[in-house]
Amino acid sequence: MSYENIRFPRDHMAIYDGDFFYFDERNDTLNRKDCDGATSFVYPLDTTLGSNKVKSMEYDGYYFWTMQQGSTSLDSIIKKWVIDNFVCTLVDVIDLSHTAENKFSCSSFALEFYNTKLVTTVSKHSSILSLSTYYDKVSPGTIITLGPNEDGMYEDVTVTGTLSSPNTFGLDFYTFNTYQENTNVYFSKSLWLINSFTYNTAKGSLYKLSLITKQIEYVIEDDDFKYVETNCFYNAGNSQYILYVLNTSIRFFNIETNTHEESMIIDNLESNSSTVIPVKDIKVEADSIYRLQQKANYYGIVYSWATYNYQLSTIRPFVDSISMDVYPKILPSNGINVAEIMVVVRDQFDNPLKLKPVFLQDSDDIGFITSETVYTNLFGTAISYYKAGTVPNTITLNTIVTQYD
């Protein structure tokens, strides 16, 4: 058993509605695969990618974005693409060429994008639209994509400013088509670049680039970014994050507060429990994180492949660690004394899990656990007691935690 799935020949990917995408610079194509690895379509590019490989890609539901090295190792190029009449067409280029102030040795980027709906119908030749959600992310100059409408048409409009209410915006031009209520709306705000430089100094950093001005808004210096190969955008609804892989964890960087809120452990260690399996790309679909790897550890056996395949991590909290302590650890064999048993249950973010059933067992034929099933409290802690037997003995206590949600 090899555990291969999508069999990508390239170390980057995008995911949308269960389909997987990658760019092939050798053949100048955009390839689309089903979840079982079958190629469903190959889109030729109208513009050659050149000899530099695609390091990273994103997809916002309408536009594709790629990152490549520029003319030197200190330059990066971001390209924006769209599928038009079954051809992947180049729309825009952001050239991040190095200067005396900035060097761009970028390993990957994340696209901060939002998908929402129209609140009301936008008629042909209209200059106003209203959004149902994420309207607080829109600012003057934001390019919004509408579509498809009933005729399968899309178009881009540019916001000039807020009108009568927080979710209603004026446009720089009249719309060409009519779009009914609940039509899809797509827009992107920023690119978040993992850079091996902070300005012109060899220190790891995270760059925020505005898609409105095409300028660097600010730089967050952290030398850990020197060791990061991949990052992606994660919209949790009320909060938005940049996710990136560092060794055996995925870190969550809140882009509103510019703080690391939490991290989660991932299973990318080889069977020797010390060698880290590189994660080449990550993407989020629903509650799952897809990790692109060329190796994986299944049940203590490390599998290596000629191609890249995804491994899954879930964002939904699940039982990841159980710890148990007993006090006192020595009791007289009098059938009277008791010891407190404390079990702490935590998830993959190292947060306590509440209301999880904990089942306790002991190896004593005479002594017993007073409550064999207890539930964790708000702090992830469950408490029971062991009552001593009458025969001197070494007692083994076991605990099992079950998760039903």
pLDDT of residue 304: 94
pLDDT of residue 349: 86
Measured between its terminal Cα atoms, the distance across the chain in Å is 30
Low-confidence ranges of the chain (pLDDT < 70): 1
pLDDT of residue 318: 87
pLDDT of residue 85: 92
pLDDT of residue 94: 96
pLDDT of residue 317: 87
Contacts of 249 (CB under 8 A, 6+ apart): 263, 264, 265, 266
pLDDT of residue 141: 96
Q: How far apart are CA 65 and CA 47, in angstroms?
A: 14
Contacts of 195 (CB under 8 A, 6+ apart): 103, 104, 105, 106, 107, 204, 205, 206, 207, 219, 225
Q: How far apart are CA 58 and CA 80, in angstroms?
A: 9
pTM for the model: 0.87
pLDDT of residue 1: 52
pLDDT of residue 237: 87
Q: Which two tokens stand for residue 9?
A: 């020949």
Q: How far apart are CA 250 and CA 174, in angstroms?
A: 44
pLDDT of residue 402: 86
**Cα separation values, 349 from 239, 264, 316, 378, Å:** 16, 4, 10, 16
Say which residue the tokens 């990061």 belong to: 228
259 forms bridges with which residues in the sheet?
Answer: 254
Which residue from 63, 54, 41 is spatially nearest to 13, judged by alpha carbons? Answer: 54
**Cα separation values, 166 from 24, 72, 115, 185, 274, Å:** 42, 44, 17, 16, 52
Say which residue the tokens 């850079």 belong to: 195
